[in-house]
Every structure is written in C-alpha cells, then in structure tokens.
Amino acid sequence: MKRFDVIILVLFCICGCKKLGKPETFTQDWLTMGTFASCTVSAENSEQADKYFKIVKDEFDKISKSFNIYNTNSIISIINRDAHFSPVKVNDNEFCIITNSFACSQKTETAFNPVCLPLIRLWGFNGGTNTTVPTQPMIDEVMERVDISKVICETNTIFFIGENMQLDMGGVAKGSAVDMAYDELEKAGCMEFMVNLGGNIRAQTLKEHLLIGIRDPFDKENLIGTLKLKSGEAVATSGDYERFVILDGVKYPHIIDPRSGYPVKKTVATTIVAPNATMSDILSTATFVLGKEKIDDVLYQFPDVAILVISKNDGKMSISMSNEEVFDLL
C-alpha cells in the first residue's frame, strides 16, 4: 500500500557542493510500516549521514513495534486483547500518542476516532475479511463498539469499559513516527533534513521555505499545485486512491466516517500543513471525514494549520482551501 500523494519538488540547494567542510546532501529510501520511507539529510560525509538515517529508522521501528495491529506482541494488540478485562499499561510515549488522539477526536466531532478498528474491519480493511457490503444491522452492531466515551485513559493505562472495542492508530502512527525522528535528528545536530513516511513529511531547512508538489488525485503524473512548507512544519495527505476495497462492484475508500458507519465518498483528498506531523496526520484523516463544509470548524480548533480539500459531487471536482499564502494552485 504505497502512498505517493505528495512529492518533493525542491530540496536543499546544497546538492553537489563538495568543497572541504561543506555539507553534502544524502538520501535514503526504504520500506516500513506497509509504506515507503525516505530521508534526506545534510551531512559532512556518508558516515554521518548513515548515523542520521539510523536515528530515523530506529524511531520508525519503535512506533511500528508499538502500533502494528498484525504483530500479536505489539502493545496495540495487547490492548485490543486485554483492555476489556483490566487496564493495560503503556509507556510514556505510547500514552502521549494515544491520549492526544482522543483529545483530537473530541476536537473533530469524533470524525477522527482512535477506536474505529471494528468498523474499518467490517468494511474489509486492516485485517477485515468482509467481501460484501455490510448490512445496516451489522453496521449498527459495530457502531456500539466505536464509542470513544467508553475508553478510560488514566495514569499510563488504557481500559475499555465497552465490549469488543479495538484501538487503531493507523491515522496517526506515521505522523507520530515522523515527529519522533524529527526531534532526534534535531538533537543529533542535523541542520537540514526532510523525513517522509508514506506522505507524512516534516523538514528542517535554512531556506525561507520548501516547495512541495501536490499531486492531481485524478492524474498522478500531474500536479495540481504546490505548497510552501516552512522549517519545522509538516504536511500530510489523505486520499481515496491510496487504499480501497471493491465490494459488490463498488469502490470504497479506507477512511470511514465513524458517526455514520460508512466509508467517506464525498472527499477525494485532503492536504494539511501543520506545526507538527502528528497534527497533520490526524487532521488529514479527520478533515477527509468532515469534508470541505467543516474547514472553518477545524481551523477554529486548530488555528495554526492550513487545509486543502478536494471534493467530488456528481463526478465534478471542486477544491477548497483555507490559506492562499500556503497553497499555490496551478
């Protein structure tokens, strides 16, 4: 399930200068967490660049170890197995990511729902085996199990007071991993870098900003515009073309509206620029659910973000955006 929704147009203008003492640009790409990862760093030499790449990989591995629902030993699998019986202890970082997800859920009218795995599975995603459109009674039954008020997060523990509930960090794990890598690279003294995990990008640059291309969701060879990313900021895109299932001949995207129980059909793609990658990841998913009508409400809760929503209605595409200084459409 690769995501190539945003591409980097301009990196650092230090490529190619190999004079003594001047840093060079190094890039490494790899696959992890079911998607592609990429890191570009400015470093004195390849040994230093390799150290930086290892830092990033280690942070990604930590998140993957915690939140991989397919690994029976991950904390998320333990929570989903045991948190109905008794509170499950998690580490500080996991607790911070989980509780932040619930806080953002409340600020997005629960459009972002960290316990919507039963619904996601019902529609055939993330380990779900359904191959036909679920019936309304099936949806109604599962809706009971995605109620965030039935989750208690206290003193580094997670406890489900509802039955058969399941946590899914799929809409926030990659952004969190990018933030962790960002912090560690900064601590290690790397002056310019860009970290990209499945389209969740955060960069540090000495330039005024970087230019990031936004793909046309209907024609992946083309761009519909560019966006400006300032140093320290992050960008994420959620798209209906990234992952989908075909049930009874109809295509359904991987983002589910937890309030209706149905996959979201009105949004094609959302792109969010935010102060950090956790926020851009969560809000790209949440805004995908909320749609263009709720851009102002999202901005009210998260004033520091810029939002681009591509919608479709009767086959016609429309683009809505919050901030013309950030997005430059062709």
- The residue ranges that bind ligand AMP (CB under 6 A) are 111-113, 116, 120, 126, 168, 170-171, 238, 254-256, 258, 281, 284-285, 289
β-pairing verdict for 219-229 and 210-216: antiparallel
Measured from the CB of residue 166, what is the shortest distance to ligand AMP in angstroms?
11
Contacts (CB under 5 A) with Mg ion, residues 258-287 = 281, 284-285
Distance CA(326)–CA(198), nearest Å, equals 21
Give start and end residues of each alpha helix (H) in 144-276. Answer: 173-187
- Shortest gap between Cβ of 157 and ligand AMP (angstroms)? 21
Tell me which residue has its CB nearest to ligand AMP.
170
42: partner contacted, choices Mg ion, ligand AMP, none (Cβ within 5-8 A by kind)? none
Among 23, 170, 171, 258, binds Mg ion (CB under 5 A): 171
Q: Which is nearer to Mg ion, 121 or 174 (CB)?
A: 174
Q: Which residues contact 261 (CB under 8 A, 6 or more apart)?
A: 119, 122, 139, 140, 142, 143
* Closest chain position to Mg ion (CB): 285
Q: How far is the CB of 89 from Mg ion (least distance, A)?
A: 27
Of the pair 131, 260, the CB lying nearest ligand AMP is at: 260
Work out what residue 289 binds among Mg ion, ligand AMP, none; the CB cut-off runs from 5 to 8 Å by kind.
Answer: ligand AMP
Count, residues near Mg ion per rule CB under 5 A = 4
Per partner kind, with CB cut-offs from 5 to 8 A, the member of ligand AMP, Mg ion, none near residue 301 is none
316: phi then psi, degrees, rounded to nearest 5: -95, 135
Smallest separation, CB 180 to ligand AMP (Å):
16
For the bound state, the minimum distance from the C-beta of residue 289 to ligand AMP, rounded and expressed in Å, comes to 5
Q: How far is Cα 213 from Cα 221, in angstroms, rounded to an integer?
A: 11
Output b/e per residue, 256-274; b: 16+ Cβ within 10 A: bbbeebebbeebbbbbbbb
Least Å from the CB of residue 291 to ligand AMP: 12
- Starting at the earlier edge strand, list the strands of the sheet with 219-229: 6-8, 210-216, 219-229, 327-329
Which two tokens mark 208?
Answer: 């005024």
DSSP 45-56: SHHHHHHHHHHH
Contact of residue 170 among Mg ion, ligand AMP, none (CB under 5-8 Å per partner type): ligand AMP
Q: Which residue has the tokens 């699998």?
A: 77
What's the number of CA atoms in the CB half-sphere (13 Å) around residue 203?
A: 29
Residues that bind Mg ion (CB under 5 A): 171, 281, 284-285
